[in-house]
Amino acid sequence: MPSGLFEAVAVANPHHCYSIVTNQRALLLQRSSEGKSQGDFVSSLRALKMANLPQSPSLSLPYGQASSSASPMGTPANFDRKMQSAEALVLDLSNPDRRENALLELSKKRELFQDLAPLLWNSFGTIAALLQEIVSIYPVLSPPSLTPAQSNRVCNALALLQCVASHPDTRMPFLNAHIPLYLYPFLNTTSKSRPFEYLRLTSLGVIGALVKVDDTEVISFLLSTEIIPLCLRTMEMGSELSKTVATFVVQKILLDDVGLDYICTTAERFFAVGRVLGNMVAALAEQPSSRLLKHIIRCYLRLSENPNQ
């Protein structure tokens, strides 16, 4: 699996962001050797994989898969077989008995299937099936009783939604359908258990996929749905990786003039963002993280560019 996630100095060019996942994978390998189950280890890798937002899909490989240079896939026969496999798995999403396996296979192999996002979006009942997976766990959010198996299954569904959010042909229809709103209950959770942490991380992955491409319309939509308070919550109480993704989202919003104007319009919004950033800097004194600090500094730098401050 390629490494990398959001080096702040390269946020304007996502193809240069390659650092965090290698470190996280090494940490997970160490934890696995200390007694973690293989299922937890694979789930951890999957969560990290889905958080690798700024990376170009063409550079992203599912863990355990060889590079395309070692396995040529340019022949028409290979292409047809892959599309048939993708179509069969997408059809399985509408079958409750086959859905769990289809979610797993599609989420692992989504980069291998060309134009998977339009196939997911335009096939009958598929998006409804993914939303059904999401809303089915709402009852276990409060009181928090989400199991690892439930979390993994929903994270696989979220990975497919991230695929749709990333594709230029499906991004705006995805946004116009207000599908990101279905993820907000996950971002509003406060439990620090691993299943909830993965859920927040992959939900942020979908939001990050939307803001990765500079588009004022996307930023305006997210601002209208109060994404900033949800990101600030994660920046305060999430894991280092979740904080990094949430700060990346806020940073991308600030880099758009509409986002900067929105946050700086009222003192309440400005100081809310400033307070959280300040608390994060103070916390870094005890648990240093250079990559997170770079994002925080980029946010401060952009705030300083507001002519009204």
> Which pLDDT does position 74 carry in this prediction?
55
Q: What is the dihedral of CA 110, 114, 119, 120, to 10 degrees?
A: 20
Residue 38 has pLDDT above 60, yes or no: no
| Contact in structure between 207 and 183 (CB atoms under 8 Å) | yes
- Gap between the terminal Cα atoms of the chain: 43
Cα 49 to its chain centre, rounded Å, is 9
Pick the CATH number of 8-65+79-304 from 3.40.50.300, 1.25.10.10, 1.10.760.10, 3.40.50.920: 1.25.10.10
Its sign, for the CA torsion 9, 3, 209, 247, is: negative
Structure tokens belonging to residue 204: 């942020």
Local structure of 115: helix, strand or coil: coil
pLDDT band at 309 (very low <50, low <70, confident <90, very high): low
Q: Rounded to the nearest 5°, which phi and psi values hold at 23?
A: -65, -40
pLDDT band at 111 (very low <50, low <70, confident <90, very high): confident
Q: For the chain, what is the mean pLDDT?
A: 81
> Which pLDDT does position 54 carry in this prediction?
38
pLDDT tens for each residue of 117-175: 999 999 999 999 999 999 999 999 999 999 999 999 999 999 999 999 999 999 999 99
CA distance 274 to 11: 21
Percent of the chain clearing pLDDT 70 (strictly above): 74
CA distance 102 to 126: 11
CA distance 3 to 63: 11
Residue 16 has pLDDT above 60, yes or no: no
Query: Minimal CA–CA distance to 141: which of 194, 189, 195?
Result: 189
**Between residues 307 and 273, the one the model is more confident about:** 273
User: If you average pLDDT over residues 29-58, what whole number do you get?
Assistant: 41
User: If you average pLDDT over residues 266-279, what whole number do you get?
Assistant: 97
What single string gives the DSSP state of each residue in 169-222?
Answer: TTHHHHHHTTGGGGGHHHHT----SHHHHHHHHHHHHHHHHHHHS--HHHHHHH
User: If you average pLDDT over residues 283-290, what whole number do you get?
Assistant: 93
CA distance 65 to 152: 20
| Contact in structure between 17 and 11 (CB atoms under 8 Å) | yes
Q: What is the dihedral of CA 89, 95, 98, 101, to 10 degrees?
A: 50
CA distance 161 to 233: 23
> Which pLDDT does position 45 carry in this prediction?
38
Q: What are the residue ranges spanned by the domains of the chain?
A: 8-65+79-304
Question: Within the chain, what is the greatest distance between any pair of CA atoms?
Answer: 60
